[in-house]
Amino acid sequence: MNPVEVLRFALRGLSANKMRSALTMLGILIGVAAVILLVAIGEGSSRQIQQNIQQLGANTLTITPSTFGGGGGGGGIARVFARAGGGQRQNTGPRTQAKNLTVEDARALADPANAPSVKSVSPVVTAQAQTATYEGASHSIGQLVGTYPSYFEASNKPVAKGAYFYNDDVLAARKVVVIGKTVADDLFGTVDPIGKQITVSGVPFTVIGVLKETGSSGFQDADDVAIAPLPAVQQSLTGFGPLGQILVQAKSAQAVDAAQSEVTEVLNQRHGITDPANPDYRILNSASLQETVSAAIGTFTVLLGAVAAISLLVGGIGITNIMLVTVTERTREIGIRKAIGAPKGAILGQFLAEATMLSLVGGLLGVLIAVIGAQFTIAGVKPVIVPTSIALALGVSVAIGLFFGSYPANRAAGLRPIEALRFE
Amino acid sequence: MRPGTPPVLQLTGVTKVYGEGETAVRALRGVSLRVERGDYVAIMGASGSGKSTLMNIIGCLDVPSGGTYYLDGTDVGALDERSLAIVRNRKLGFVFQAFNLIPRMSALANVELPLAYGGVKAAERRRRALAALDLVGLADRVHHQPNELSGGQQQRVAVARALVTAPTLLLADEPTGALDSKSSEDVMKIFDRLSASGRTLVVITHEEEVAAHAKRVVRLMDGQIVDDVRVTPVGGLPPRFAEVAP
Ligand SMILES: Nc1ncnc2c1ncn2[C@@H]1O[C@H](COP(=O)(O)OP(=O)(O)O)[C@@H](O)[C@H]1O
Ligand SMILES: [Mg+2]
């Protein structure tokens, strides 16, 4: 009996009971496909969230005003009322009047003497839902940002077509704008938007660039933006009030923490914060946010993997069941084969080959199904296949098939022919 | 009989006990039997007299509790599992009452099976299997599966499978027990022809009609041989062969 012969016998054995073989394969197929797909979905959503975080910009600190425990000063009042819980958050310590973020704050942070780890500082005002029109086409821009040129790099928004605006434009408060892909598509369609004039809430702006598509999906369309020089937006749309936020970019990934403490020190001093635990601003550190979210996503993926592993286990139990149910029939068959002179090795080889083929073919089909399934967006997530999950699922399924497939064969092949023949 | 050729079968004081203690069944109580090459022996006896037990031991499907067993000059008791498989494959052909064909495999594949285990090449295997099926009159049914064949046809496939390796000894345990009289007659004619061509056969039966085909009739009772009658000489033709000869 050469190996080819053994394989032929195994194939014949499998095709002799097509239904049983198909069901066994199906069990393995589902288990393997589930493991790979669920892990891929976990990985996909992880990537997606990471991407969204990266859109905050690399090595950046986002400073926003905070009125928690508010001293009730100035523009803070409106926001206190805006927050339902604001009134209940009674101050724990003495606190001076909450101050808004100003362009002066930004200027102070940009001083290398105060904050040597800071690379750039971009003051930001935003106007939501501004209606832009161009020759009859109209679009409500999700977010109109007024800022400095450094914002493009810090917030990770490269220009795909046209140009950024420059410091000159900011100084001259020129009404120029860089628009996101969604805005460009809605207003211009196939027309080249560069150099065209659009009207935003009645104010004319000249389009000088189009941002690179982020392609991110999520709650907010990151491509539904327009970015213009800070004074231009303040003049025409928001007024010269407080800043919405200040975006600080650190010199390097290592410098982010240093930059954060420098920024804290400068702002505490400028805002007269006496209780450092309770400032009137908040700093969002993109690096630490990413770490936190990655950890949470990791747990999520492990959970998904565990669910999938259970389905693989259930598939394995199915295989065991099918194999055990057929023990009687197969034991008799083994008895017959032994009676006509089959050596033990040939019998074991055949059954081992059968079990391997079943689980391997089932497993490979499962991989195929998973790979095909991963091409579709599932529950808003584009799955990303993790190669190790393929190896693991396939390995486990083959191991299960081998163990439970060869178990009855191994036992029966050791019987005397007459015992196997009499087996009921 | 040429001197020096060992008997095909030499049993001495063979015993078989099933179970232990109070429930022990002594199925064979010291059976000694010698079968020469070319003989055609019928083993008769009432149900429960130990015929199948004896046959399973002769066929190397089971091991005796005591006594010695020489098959074609070799002491079977001293063989390991590997050599036993070779003996079953080369020296023995077994026909069961329940046919015991492998389901969902064609008649041809069933008959080829012992040759495959014996390491015969595919083309040669097919040629010999077809010849054996032709010998039992099933040349036109080679691609049928067992469930597409009648009982008599299945048993003839089983006979073809038993003789395809040209074994030293052909064994049959109540081969006609599950067949009607016409099919039984077909199978017995094949046995007569095999005997006439010089094969050694041992057939178990409780039917006098079947035993009448044999050259020698051995009677078993309660696990012991009680009668051993020679009808025709070892070298001669089986008694019913004249009737079936063409
Ligand atoms: N596997 C077994 N376990 C226990 N007793 C058995 C077994 N096989 C046969 N016997 C007993 O041995 C005796 C002989 O059985 P068997 O050889 O089958 O008789 P026969 O074939 O002549 O009808 C019977 O009493 C039977 O009950
Ligand atoms: Mg019997």
Give the residue from B59, B58, B82, B56 showing the smallest Cα distance to B68.
B58
The pLDDT of residue A350 is above 90: no
Backbone φ/ψ region at A203: left (φ over 0), alpha (ψ -120 to 50), beta: beta
Query: Kind of pairing, strands A176-179 and A203-211?
Result: parallel
pLDDT per position as a tens digit, A118-142 = 888 888 888 887 888 888 888 888 8
Q: Using the beta-carbon criterion (under 8 Å), do B117 and A1 form an inter-chain contact?
A: yes
Which residues in chain A are closer than 8 Å to B63, comparing Cβ atoms?
Answer: 416
Residue B162, pLDDT > 80, answer yes
Q: What is the pLDDT of residues A377-422, one digit of tens each?
A: 777 778 888 888 889 888 888 887 777 777 766 776 788 888 888 8
How far, CA to CA in Å, does A59 sit from each of A50, A147, A154, A246, A288? 14, 18, 8, 14, 10
User: Is the Cα torsion angle A330, A363, A391, A317 positive or negative in sign?
Assistant: negative
Each residue's pLDDT tens digit, A262-317:
888 888 888 888 777 778 888 888 777 777 777 887 788 788 778 877 877 777 77
Tens digit of pLDDT for each residue in B32-58? 999 999 999 999 999 999 999 999 999
Residue B100 has pLDDT above 90, yes or no: yes
CATH level 2 (architecture), domain B36-63+80-244: 3-Layer(aba) Sandwich (3.40)
Exposed / middle / buried, residue A329 (Cβ in 10 Å: 0-12, 13-18, 19+): middle
Q: Is the pLDDT of residue A76 over 50?
A: no
Supply the pLDDT for residue A403. 79
pLDDT for residue A1: 61
Average pLDDT over residues B72-77: 93
- Measured CA to CA, the distance from residue A407 to residue A324 in angstroms comes to 9
Predicted complex ipTM exceeds 0.85:
yes
| Alpha-carbon separation of residue A246 from A162, A166, A228, B172 (angstroms) | 26, 18, 15, 98
Q: Do the chains contact at A1 and B85, CB–CB below 8 Å?
A: no
Measured in Å, residue B93 CA sits from the centre of ligand 2 at: 17
**A369 pLDDT more than 90:** yes
Q: 3-state class of B32 per DSSP?
A: strand
Is pLDDT larger for residue A221 or for residue A149? A149
Tokens 């395809």 -> residue:
B164
Q: What is the pLDDT of residue B48?
A: 92
Do the Cβ atoms of A285 and A263 come closer than 8 Å?
no
Closest CA relative to residue A258, chosen from A396, A119, A63: A119
| A175 CB-near residues (< 8 Å, 6+ apart) | A203, A204, A205, A206, A228, A232, A236
Q: Name the residue facing B62 among A332, A341, A416 (closest C-beta).
A: A416
d(CA A399, CA A320): 12
Contacts of B113 in chain A (CB under 8 A): 337, 340, 342
Q: CB within 6 Å of ligand 1 — which residues?
A: B 18-19, 25, 27, 45, 47-53
- Among the atoms of ligand 1, which is closest to the Cα of residue B174? 21
The pLDDT, as a whole number, for residue B139 is: 93
In whole angstroms, give the CA distance from residue B206 to residue B78: 32
Query: Any chain B CB within 8 A of the CB of A16?
Result: yes
Residue B17 Cα to ligand 1 midpoint, Å, equals 10
Q: A-contacting residues of B 26-65, CB under 8 Å? A: 56, 59-63
**Is the CB of A418 inside 8 Å of chain B's CB atoms?**
yes
Residues of B in contact with A340 (CB under 8 A): 88-89, 94, 113-114, 117, 161
Return the domain boundaries, chain B: 36-63+80-244
Global pTM exceeds 0.80: no
Select from B63, B117, B119 the Cβ nearest to the Cβ of A340. B117
Q: What is the mean pLDDT of chain A?
A: 79
A16 CB neighbours in chain B (<8 A) are 103-105
Which protein residue has the closest C-alpha to ligand 1 atom 25?
A: B48
pLDDT (0 to 100) of residue B67: 95
Confidence check: pLDDT of B93 > 50: yes
Hunting for tokens 């597409």 — which residue is that? B148
Query: How many Å lie between the centroid of ligand 2 and the Cα of residue B175?
Result: 11
In this complex, do B85 and A336 lie within 8 Å of one another by their Cβ atoms? no
**Amino acid A90: pLDDT:** 44
Distance of alpha carbon A279 from alpha carbon A65, whole angstroms: 9
Instruction: Please state the atom number of ligand 1 nearest to the C-alpha of residue B220.
Output: 22
**3 state DSSP class of B130:** helix
pLDDT in tens, A354-366: 878 888 888 899 9
pLDDT value of residue A87: 38
